[in-house]
Amino acid sequence: MAKLLLYLTLATSLIPLFSVAFSPENPTDRRVLVLVDDFAIKSSHSLYFGSLTSRGFQLEFKLADDPNIGLQRYGQYLYDALVLFCPSVERFGGSIDVASIVDFVDSGHDLIVAADSNASDLIREVATECGVDFDEDPAAMVIDHINYAVSNFDGDHTLIASDDFIKADVILGSKKIEAPVLFQGIGHSLNPANSLVLKVLSASSSAYSANPKSKLSNPPSLTGSAISLVSVVQARNNARILITGSLSMFSNRSGVQKAGSSIKHEKSGNEQFLTEISKWVFHERGHLKAVNVRHHKVGESDEPAIYRINDDLEYSVEIYEWSGTSWEPYVSDDVQVQFYMMSPYVLKTLSTDQKGHYSAEFKVPDVYGVFQFKVEYQRLGYTSLSLSKQIPVRPYRHNEYERFLPAAYPYYGSAFSMMAGFFIFTIVHLYSK
Amino acid sequence: MYQRERERERERDYREEMARSTGKDAQALFHSLRSAYAATPTTLKIIDLYMGFAVFTALIQVVYMAIVGSFPFNSFLSGVLSCVGTAILAVCLRIQVNKDNKEFKDLPPERAFADFVLCNLVLHLVIMNFLG
């Protein structure tokens, strides 16, 4: 009995060491909760889920109104990411609701939301909290009479083929997506004043959002490329959210042929597009960390507590990018450091040695006070870096000024020449007859 | 008619003569000053030379400051005041040493020279302090 207890305590104490979860050292999400309307999605979307599990994610499938689900227990989050594939849910079960989902994202975790035609108000509310507005008409779908996908079933052109991707290698990978992406669902619009949302896949300029079954009585409110089919949000705490209006985009689909073009693609671009974008959403790409901020006077190596005006100093930082499995050096030529006190006195671009080490040398300005070394780095698709280190700057001590001023040499000369003249004059005056 | 012409001619002649005479007067004055100065004793002429050197140095410094600006203003003041102070002390020595000066008839020239030296020492001490 005692031995059993011993083994039990040993086993339970070792469990935390075995869980490889989301942490600053390993930013890729691991445990993902997938909420679905019914478990048939597991088979109809098996390709997508298969690609996730093959990359090492632990997916947990639960019904959206399952009364036992919860995101956190005793203050700790049980999952690193949440996937909502339940567009018609009216109320979440267990302890999940819109507020808890917003808290989940606010604590830095990632979210994927997929709506569909006739999406419930709850899913629309979740999307609105994230900064994306779906079309208010519940029966509206995105229709495109020019860029629809040629198919045997759909005759009302709601299955559209879109290839209007955002130009960002970080989000969509470096390989170009050749085939268009199939989409059938509702569209959303983004607030242009919101700087955190990005349109990853937008509808073409001939698309509009309307009810396909009824006649159009007044012009649709969402038209053209203002309609976004897939959007991402990168919050200020670097949580990433993917919002799309078509759950069937994730399903197993085969070839696609865009109307008006004669190219018939064997495979649609959905698989590549969704794989690459979920790599980005789950922090396998585009996640930066900055470590080892150091500054010192040129020629010395230790960090002083105070600088003097007109000192030469050197600032260095190391930036790494997470590649999915390890930290690789991040190489870029546009990282800048500011020497800031109410406004940047010095703004310098850091030079890199291609191995992730960035450094810059500059002269402390002729102003004393308390400055900060600030690095503010925000690039499309990358996590934002915001480093700041405070350092005071003092003026000259009384014995650090120049001793003899070159501008005053004539005055020094005249004073000494007067003394010499006085001396010569006294000799001449005394010894002349 | 003729009378007025003759009046104008007379006026013109009168003015020319006045101009010539003022010119001649100025020249005569200048000559008398030079000959009188040549008669001063050599001692006084040496003091005058010394004073001229001091004033010249002061003028150079003022022109330099006008060009470059008054940045080390204390140095400028110190330089100019050393020249001006030297000139003033030289003037005082000249007054006291001049034998034609009835006010200082009873003052021995050695005493005047000793005062001059002491005052110059104090002047140069102050100047070196203020020069920076």
Confidence of residue A396 (pLDDT cuts 50, 70, 90): very high
Confidence of residue A21 (pLDDT cuts 50, 70, 90): very low
- Rounded average pLDDT over B5-17: 88
CA distance B67 to chain A (A): 11
Residue A155 forms contact with B (CB below 8 Å): no
Residues of A in contact with B54 (CB under 8 A): 418, 421
Return the closest-CA partner of residue A250 out of A266, A272, A235.
Answer: A272
Output the pLDDT for position A11. 55
Token pair recorded at residue A76: 């700790």
Interface of B with A in 68-97 (CB under 8 A): 68, 71-72, 75-76, 78-80, 82-83, 86, 90
Report the share of chain A in percent with pLDDT over 90: 39
Confidence of residue A17 (pLDDT cuts 50, 70, 90): very low
The verdict on a CB contact (< 8 Å) between A414 and B128 is no
Q: Does residue A34 surpass a pLDDT of 80?
A: yes
**DSSP state, residue B41:** -
CA distance B57 to chain A (A): 7
Output the pLDDT for position B124. 95
Interface of B with A in 31-60 (CB under 8 A): 42-43, 46-47, 50, 53-54, 57-58, 60
Residue B61 forms contact with A (CB below 8 Å): yes
Q: If you compute the radius of gyration of chain B from its CA atoms, what whole number of angstroms results?
A: 25
Output the pLDDT for position A19. 43
- Rounded average pLDDT over A83-87: 91
Q: Does residue A433 surpass a pLDDT of 70?
A: no
Q: Which helix (H) or strand (E) holds B82?
A: helix B73-97
- Rounded average pLDDT over A48-73: 88
Assess contact for A243 and A190: CB atoms under 8 A. Answer: no
Residue B104 forms contact with A (CB below 8 Å): no
The verdict on a CB contact (< 8 Å) between B132 and A419 is no
Residue A426 forms contact with B (CB below 8 Å): yes
Output the pLDDT for position A154. 59
CA distance B65 to chain A (A): 10
Output the pLDDT for position A9. 61
Output the pLDDT for position B18. 83
Cα torsion A67, A72, A73, A74: sign: negative
**DSSP state, residue B8:** H
Residues of B in contact with A429 (CB under 8 A): 43, 46-47, 113
Cα angle, residue A239 at apex, residues A38 and A244 outer, rounded to 5°? 45
Q: Does residue A2 surpass a pLDDT of 80?
A: no
Output the pLDDT for position B85. 96
- Report how far apart, in Å, the C-alpha atoms of A121 and of each of A158, A214, B64 are: 22, 22, 84
**Most confident segment among A64-78, A129-143, B80-94:** B80-94
pLDDT (tens digit per residue) in B23-66: 888 899 999 888 888 888 888 899 999 999 999 999 999 999 99
pLDDT (tens digit per residue) in A205-232: 888 888 888 888 888 888 888 899 999 9
Phi-psi region of A35 (alpha: psi -120 to 50; beta: other; left: phi over 0): beta
Output the pLDDT for position A22. 57
- Rounded average pLDDT over A259-274: 81
Q: Does residue B129 surpass a pLDDT of 90?
A: yes
Tokens 């997916």 correspond to A59
Q: Does residue A50 surpass a pLDDT of 80?
A: yes
- Rounded average pLDDT over A19-40: 76
Return the residue of B nearest to A414 by Cα: B79
The verdict on a CB contact (< 8 Å) between A422 and B120 is yes
Residue B110 forms contact with A (CB below 8 Å): no
Residues of A in contact with B42 (CB under 8 A): 432-433
pLDDT (tens digit per residue) in A183-207: 889 999 998 888 899 999 988 888 8
- Report how far apart, in Å, the C-alpha atoms of B121 and of each of A136, A281, B84, B96, B128 are: 98, 86, 15, 19, 11
Return the closest-CA partner of residue A241 out of A129, A134, A126, A113.
Answer: A113
Token pair recorded at residue A47: 């390709």
Output the pLDDT for position B106. 86
Assess contact for A392 and A371: CB atoms under 8 A. Answer: yes
- Rounded average pLDDT over A143-151: 82
**DSSP state, residue B98:** -
Residues of A in contact with B90 (CB under 8 A): 425
Return the closest-CA partner of residue A45 out of A8, A79, A86, A105.
Answer: A86
Residue A9 forms contact with B (CB below 8 Å): no
The verdict on a CB contact (< 8 Å) between A407 and B42 is no
Strand-pairing partners, residue A294, are A316
Mean pLDDT, chain A, rounded, equals: 87
Contacts of A158 (CB under 8 A, 6+ apart): A141, A142, A143, A148, A184, A212
Q: Does residue A422 surpass a pLDDT of 90?
A: yes
Q: Does residue A14 surpass a pLDDT of 60?
A: no
The verdict on a CB contact (< 8 Å) between B75 and A414 is no
User: ipTM for the complex?
Assistant: 0.82
Residues of B in contact with A432 (CB under 8 A): 42-43, 46
Burial of B39 (0-12, 13-18, 19+ CB in 10 A): exposed
Confidence of residue A18 (pLDDT cuts 50, 70, 90): very low
Q: What CA–CA distance (Å, rounded) separates A189 from A202?
A: 10
Report the share of chain B in percent with pLDDT over 90: 52
Strand-pairing partners, residue A391, are A371
Output the pLDDT for position A20. 40
Output the pLDDT for position A243. 93
Token pair recorded at residue A57: 């994610």
The verdict on a CB contact (< 8 Å) between A410 and B50 is no
Return the closest-CA partner of residue A127 out of A173, A87, A155, A154.
Answer: A87
Burial of A137 (0-12, 13-18, 19+ CB in 10 A): middle
Among the ranges given (A360-364, B37-41, B74-78), the one the predictor scored with the smallest mean pLDDT? B37-41
Residues of A in contact with B119 (CB under 8 A): none
- Rounded average pLDDT over A140-150: 84
Output the pLDDT for position A288. 92
Residue A427 forms contact with B (CB below 8 Å): no
Please tell me which of the candidates B47, B50, B72 has its beta carbon nearest to residue A405.
B72
Among the ranges given (A1-15, A348-362, B81-95), the one the predictor scored with the smallest mean pLDDT? A1-15
The verdict on a CB contact (< 8 Å) between B46 and A411 is no
Phi, psi of B103 (to 5 degrees): -70, -40
Assess contact for A1 and A53: CB atoms under 8 A. Answer: no
CA distance A414 to chain B (A): 6
Return the closest-CA partner of residue A186 out of A258, A272, A113, A130.
Answer: A113
pLDDT (tens digit per residue) in A274-327: 999 989 999 888 899 999 999 999 988 899 999 999 999 999 999 999 988 889
Assess contact for A307 and A391: CB atoms under 8 A. Answer: yes
Residue A420 forms contact with B (CB below 8 Å): no
Q: Does residue B16 surpass a pLDDT of 90?
A: no
Output the pLDDT for position A416. 95
| pTM score, whole prediction | 0.72
The verdict on a CB contact (< 8 Å) between B46 and A432 is yes
Residues of B in contact with A422 (CB under 8 A): 86, 120, 124
